[in-house]
Amino acid sequence: MANLRIALCQMNPVVGDLACNISKMKEWVVEAENNGANLVVFPELVISGYPPQDNLLYDGINRDLEKADKDFFGFLQRRNEDRHGGSVIVVWGNVRRGKGLRNSAKIFLPADSTNGFPLTHARHQDKRRLPNYGVFDELRYFRPGDDEPSKVFVSENLIFGVTVCEDIWYQQNYLPDFALNGAQVVVNINASPFHVGKPKYREDMIRARAGDNQVFVLYCNMVGGQDGIVFDGDSMVMGPSGNLIARAPLFREKILYADLDLADVARSRLKDIRLNDLEIPRAEIIPFDFYGIDKQSGFSRGKISKVSSSIAQIHDALVLMIQDYVRKQGMRGVVIGLSGGIDSGVVAAFACEALGKENVTLVSMPSKYSSQGSIDDARRLAYNLGIYEGFVIVNIQREVDEFINSHERAFGPMQNPVSIENIQARVRGNKLMMYSNDNPGVIVVSTGNKSEVAVGYCTLYGDMVGGFNPLLDVYKTDVYRLAEYMNKRAGQEIIPRAIIEKAPSAELREDQKDTDSLLPYSKLDPLLRLHIEEYMTSDEIILSGFCKEQGISEEEVLRVAQALIRGSEFKRQQGVIGSRISPVAFGIGRRMPIINKFNL
């Protein structure tokens, strides 16, 4: 059976590390060729890494990207010439200079050495739809590629087209340009960030595009953490009937192989004649010689990796984010303040999994308000993680007293009890930052969850200090779910049961509980989701019947939305960068003014 063997290279590039990115691309091309691949695909902007952001405002950077592109193309050309007309098509993403910068797919077409393209020239298909929402800001840098037609690459054995990310996501997309001009395959290269629910949404979208246009869709996505966002990979191959043929694992670098029987396209179009009534759109037809499709043995439809549960996806996303945030910066480890509570416990477990326990330091910093139970719970958690020498207890009460005495000598007795609470958090933050300064290569990881940060239940320059916050986009109720998941996954108690079951408390005053200041998290989190992620005002939430359903008053809804959330915006805008696992993450996904009198 004649078939096309494809290799989707689900790669984790580093923004700006052009030499490293290209070196890996070259290695993977060789590996894919050795495994019989005829078509090798890399993600969007794989040479630069994504998103390059304001680096693109420096023309010197853009010249470097162009030079890197020529380097990779020259490598492919030399391999092609050594094989006297090779059989491997390669598609990758990079910036293209010309009439404005373009987010472009580059295409290497194999050819006889006498007809090969010159080293300075590669075929391209520029991105037409430039997203400007959520984490995206591409209109700031790029010119849309809609001034050029779709390019259809035509050989005797294979007809294909290439699209870049967003160009396939809209219902009004460009796939008919290729399908109606005879293409059997459409390649789509991506830098598509993860959020909860994205894998299912993505699969449904690709299935619809493949089935509507009766083509194979090769969806190749980036993987890896970049600042506060994470790319989950999830590359896949969808058949012309909307049938899933192959799928790469989430959150892991991988070359996904699959063999495509191109006759499936003809069979599908004979059975489903919807395309027959459509006008053939204008396209640029680019002929090329391609002898790569042979009757290969070992025909395989490819492996379909299982999509994990939502809580497993959150876990894997956060572990990868920590790992890449630390290691891509050339750092070696983290230090975490371990309170004996669930948030710091879950973050400590993440860090050990991401970096290895030998690269994690845990510091318990009790004051006179810290219970012995919390100190014991912190010690037990550290030991469960296998951290012994890296677990340190430092009592902070003397420093707290010195701050209070110094303040009162200068300004008189303290008037606000919250000041004393915040001093404890700030002493702890200072100690962690001092440790980081004194141990080069170690960054502070903070531990505030989305519920607390939303309502300002956190201390600026205290527990909000650090280099990264994995829980910034994770609600408190999901932190509990993560703790249970990690214990179940390990088959043993990682997060001590006492930590999971005790009432949450900041322990900054006598007998303090979070519920002294906040709604129970089981009621608060649904309210926060409606207000933050569903964009419902407090009035709309009240009118929806939420108060009766949750057993809370209208006054509580107004206090949370208008006083706590709105009144804490100044904290969030000064806070540490953190995770993005929802479409509306603080910082990168939610942009609100600090001075804000709207009736939220």
DSSP state of 565: I
pLDDT value at residue 120: 47
Least confident of 51-65, 109-123, 198-212: 109-123
Q: At what angle do helices 417-438 and 397-411 cross, to 10 degrees?
A: 120
The token pair at 572 is 């969030």
pLDDT value at residue 134: 82
Residue range 51-78: mean pLDDT, rounded? 95
Where residue 121 falls among pLDDT bands split at 50, 70, 90? Answer: low
Distance from C-alpha of 401 to C-alpha of 584, rounded to nearest angstrom: 40
Tell which phi-psi region holds residue 128, choosing left (phi > 0), alpha (psi between -120 and 50) or beta. Answer: alpha
DSSP state of 166: G
DSSP-derived secondary structure for 466-491: SSBBTTTT--HHHHHHHHHHHHHHHT
Query: Is 579:470 a contact under the CB 8 Å cutoff?
Result: yes
Least confident of 83-92, 343-352, 403-412: 83-92
Q: What is the pLDDT of residues 536-571, one digit of tens each?
A: 999 999 999 999 999 999 999 999 999 999 999 999
Distance from C-alpha of 499 to C-alpha of 364, rounded to nearest angstrom: 15
Residue range 508-527: mean pLDDT, rounded? 91
Query: Is 581:314 a contact under the CB 8 Å cutoff?
Result: yes
Secondary structure E strands in 288-435: 333-337, 360-364, 391-393
Where residue 5 falls among pLDDT bands split at 50, 70, 90? Answer: very high
Residue 164: is its pLDDT beyond 90?
yes
Where residue 296 falls among pLDDT bands split at 50, 70, 90? Answer: low
- State CA 415 to chain mean position distance: 45
Residue range 344-363: mean pLDDT, rounded? 98
Higher pLDDT, 216 or 135: 216
The token pair at 153 is 């690459």
Phi, psi (degrees; rounded to nearest 5) at 183:
-65, 135
Residue 298: is its pLDDT beyond 90?
no
What percentage of the chain exceeds 70 in pLDDT? Answer: 95
Q: What is the pLDDT of residues 302-345, one digit of tens each?
A: 789 999 999 999 999 999 999 999 999 999 999 999 999 999 99
Residue 271: is its pLDDT beyond 90?
no
364: nearest Cα among 396, 333, 389: 396
Distance from C-alpha of 175 to C-alpha of 167, rounded to nearest angstrom: 9
Single-letter residue type at 402 = E
pLDDT value at residue 10: 98
pLDDT value at residue 224: 97
The residues annotated as belonging to the active site are 44, 127, 165
Kindly provide the b/e burial profile for residues 428-441, where b requires at least 16 CB atoms within 10 angstroms of the residue's own CB.
Answer: bbebbbebbeeeee
Whether residue 440 has a cis bond before it, omega within 30° of 0: no
Domains and CATH numbers, the chain: 4-287 (3.60.110.10), 310-518+568-572 (3.40.50.620)
Where residue 2 falls among pLDDT bands split at 50, 70, 90? Answer: low
Mean pLDDT value across the chain: 92
pLDDT value at residue 117: 53
Where residue 1 falls among pLDDT bands split at 50, 70, 90? Answer: very low
